[in-house]
Every structure is written in structure tokens, then in C-alpha cells.
Amino acid sequence: MSDQYNPLDKGNLAESVVRAILEKEAEPLGGLAKFQGAGVYAIYYSGGLELYKRIRCSTPVPAAGVPVYVGKAVPDGARKGVKGLEKKPGNSLFKRLSDHAKSVDAAVDLELGDFWCRHLVVDDIWIPLGEALLIARFTPVWNTIVDGFGNHNPGKGRREGLRPRWDTLHPGRDWATKFKERPESRETIANEVRMELEGS
């Protein structure tokens, strides 16, 4: 039967990860206690910027809230294929969220206290699937229209190309100023965000 429910179907497995993270209580992005594990996360905005009024969340953040950004943190070494199956993931998810907190704190027009997050420690194999479904469900603007929030400082000698759109819209990270300015202005990107959110 084509409509037979299969609990091991990729979509159903991803859905279970999404349900689990949305059941978690949101925490202040800037006040996380250190924890172990890798997994997925969603970041929410509760501040007063008019640009994000359509996705501004009340606090406590409801499960129906729309995240401004969704991401994942895999165990150290996983991207290079050097992580053994028996190794522990360390605190990669906590480190990733801490990096995001530093990025927000550096931005001249954002306040770290306005950002909240939900995070879920997940077995390695389900992390990409969970992230993909979260992005597909919410299409967060910092994943789609304003890319670059999750970028790291590439280091000296590797700063080729244009400044990330996120750093053009929300300037403040020192390393981003080393890149060439984008052809589109800050206001142009802001208008794209408004149009996207008004259509959602």
C-alpha cells in the first residue's frame, strides 16, 4: 500500500526530531550553561527591530514561533570523516551556539538579550535530516535571504570574495570588514527581508 505508514521513513524520522526540539523550552542565547553533545538548534528573535516584526516572538517563546535561524553542530572531525563511531561528540553544539551569541553581540544593531534558542542533542546520523526539515518548514530568513550568519572568521589570507550578506545587514564582526563590500546595499537586503516576511 502506497499510503502505509513507515516509522523508519526518512520524513517520519526527521519529523520526530523536529517535534522533539519544538517541545523543548527556549533558553536565552546568551545565557547557556555548558553542555555536551552535538545536534540541531533554532534561534528566535524577540526584540524591537521593525524589520523582524512579523517573526518577533513573545517570551516564553511558543512552539509555534518562527526561528530567525536554524542550524546544526556535528561532532568535531565529522566533516573530515575522522570521527570514529565510538568517540564522544564533545560540546560541539554548545560551542556553535556560543559562537552565534558572539556574532549577535558584535552586531551594532542587535541585542543579545533579544535572542532565544531551542537545542536538541541528537545522535549524529539524524543531525542533517533534522536540520533540513527545520529549514524546509520555517525557511528562516538568516538561512535563506541573509546568508552568512553561521560563517566563521576564515583566517588571514583566506578572505576572498564578498562580505557576507548578514554582515552587510548587521555590521559589527571585525573580520567581516576585511572582505570586499557587496554591490547590494544594506537597505536593499533589508527590503528583501521585508518582502520575504510579508509574503510568509
State residue 85's pLDDT score. 53
- Asked if residues 29 and 97 have their Cβ atoms less than 8 Å apart, the reply is yes
CA dist., res. 181 & res. 31, Å (int): 33
Burial class of residue 100 in the structure, from the number of CB atoms within 10 Å of its CB (0-12 exposed, 13-18 middle, 19+ buried): buried
pLDDT-derived band at 82, boundaries 50, 70, 90: very low
pLDDT-derived band at 78, boundaries 50, 70, 90: low
Burial class of residue 13 in the structure, from the number of CB atoms within 10 Å of its CB (0-12 exposed, 13-18 middle, 19+ buried): middle
pTM: 0.89
CA dist., res. 152 & res. 172, Å (int): 14
Better-predicted residue by pLDDT, 157 or 28: 28
Identify which of 47, 20, 37 has the alpha carbon closest to the alpha carbon of residue 118.
Answer: 20
pLDDT single digits (tens) 108-141: 999 999 999 999 999 888 899 889 999 999 999 9
CA dist., res. 21 & res. 163, Å (int): 32
Checking if the pLDDT of 81 tops 60, the result is no
* 197 three-class SS: helix
